[in-house]
Amino acid sequence: MATTKGTSHVYGIDQHTLSLTALSGPTATSGGRSSRFALSTLGTTSPDGHSEIHIISFDDPDQGDAQDTAALTATKHKHTVGLLAIHAVPWSPTQLVAVTGVSGTMRDSVLQVVELEGDRTNVLATLSVPEGCVRKAAVWPIMEGGGRIGVLSDAAIHVYDLDGSSFKSLWSAPQDDPPETLACHPSSAFLLSTTDGTALRSWDTRQPPASHATVTVECAHQGRIRALDYNPNVPHIVATGGDDGIVRLWDARRMQGPVTEVSEHSCWVYSVRFNPHHDQLLLTAGADGLVNLESVVSWSFARQVGTAATAAEEGDEPEYDEYEEEGDRAVDGLVAQFDDHETSVYAAVWSVEDPWVFASLSFDGRLVINTVPREEKYKILL
């Protein structure tokens, strides 16, 4: 079911959903761009325990006044077991990496590479990890040695290369505490970050497999960390979101404390995502049903390049300053808050093709597509 509420475009299904990813795809529309998103159902509400992958295409012809001309279409693909998570891959617009489990539970969960074919999925490769079940996975956005994938199991962190239809183990690190989430470095195939409990850890997989991270912050939040993302353009800046309702930004080069924090959620934060093109924009989503669009311009590529250039001219070390000067085009802080959801929002992602479009997904099967407010867009572009 597709509907439009103001400038929000809603796609709803009568099943539970947890996972959302943005897909690459064609950009040829009449005067605009096409965005593609994929969501997966758990399978727990399906009579046969099977899951579905829904591909939603959103065409916004002009990103201008004619919002009512935007088109939203969808296709469904049946998967024979429950899906816990899906991830887009850089090597194919029709393939996905999926964490699958019996009837959408963690029991016997494995990693699969699936191809979308007709109204079904075709499993191309399957991976079972030696230390228990697959809990989470992430795909490196860059291609080196084939498709590189980070995997969290009950008791270890793994890195694999996907070679055709088989997985090659590259590195692993045993863990005393079950890891919670992970993110792959946007420009290095050897670096990744993970969280477990309240701890944030960074890893260099060129080092011998061991239980010790290269950098660790033991109490990054006062509650479990559930969300993690790298700034794609300034990759030493990492964002985390926790059960304390706070989103924090960290400088991985010196982890004495967060460089800034945002407290716009009233409870658990499930998702944090930097805009891949305009990294001063940060999406956050949580159990309070809200999706927040934040400006973190002080930690963006444009700001840091300008600060470094000024410091170099003056012979000083670059400092991290917030935008506070009168007349600046953009400032740090909340840009907009979206309350289109009625239950916990587990994912919010940016479009691959259109930098001003994003989607969010809540547990009740509601996908909402929104756009960056025009005023903020002009602050960035002008």
Mean pLDDT by 10 residues, the chain (382 residues): 66 94 70 84 74 93 53 92 94 94 73 95 93 91 83 94 89 91 95 96 86 87 97 96 97 90 94 97 98 95 59 46 47 94 97 96 97 93 84
pTM over 0.75: yes
pLDDT of residue 214: 87
144 strand-pairing partners: none
Angle, vertex CA 304, rays to CA 281 and CA 278, nearest 5? 25
The structure tokens listed for 153 are 């199991």
Contact 22, 357 (CB under 8 A): no
Angle, vertex CA 147, rays to CA 145 and CA 151, nearest 5? 115
Task: Give Cα separations from 365 to 59, 136, 273 (angstroms).
Answer: 21, 21, 20
368 strand-pairing partners: 10, 360
- What are the domain boundaries of the chain? 17-128
Contact 32, 355 (CB under 8 A): no
The structure tokens listed for 206 are 């060129």
The structure tokens listed for 161 are 């290369």
Query: Which residues lie below 8 Å from residue 317, measured CB to CB, with a gap of 6+?
Result: 311
Residue type, 227: A
Round to whole Å and give the CA distance between 289 and 268.
10
Contact 287, 270 (CB under 8 A): yes
Element (H, E) at 378: helix 374-381
Q: Of 126, 22, 38, which Cα lies nearest the Cα of 81?
A: 126
pLDDT of residue 219: 95
pLDDT of residue 255: 83
In this structure, which long-range contacts are made by residues 107-116, counting pairs with CB atoms below 8 Å and at least 24 apart in sequence?
107/133, 108/133, 109/84, 109/133, 109/134, 109/135, 110/134, 111/137, 111/149, 111/151, 111/167, 113/89, 113/162, 113/165, 114/53, 114/79, 116/53, 116/55, 116/77
pLDDT of residue 181: 97
Q: Of 149, 169, 160, which Cα lies nearest the Cα of 88?
A: 149
Number of C-beta neighbours around residue 72 at 10 A: 18
The structure tokens listed for 168 are 């090659």
pLDDT of residue 165: 82
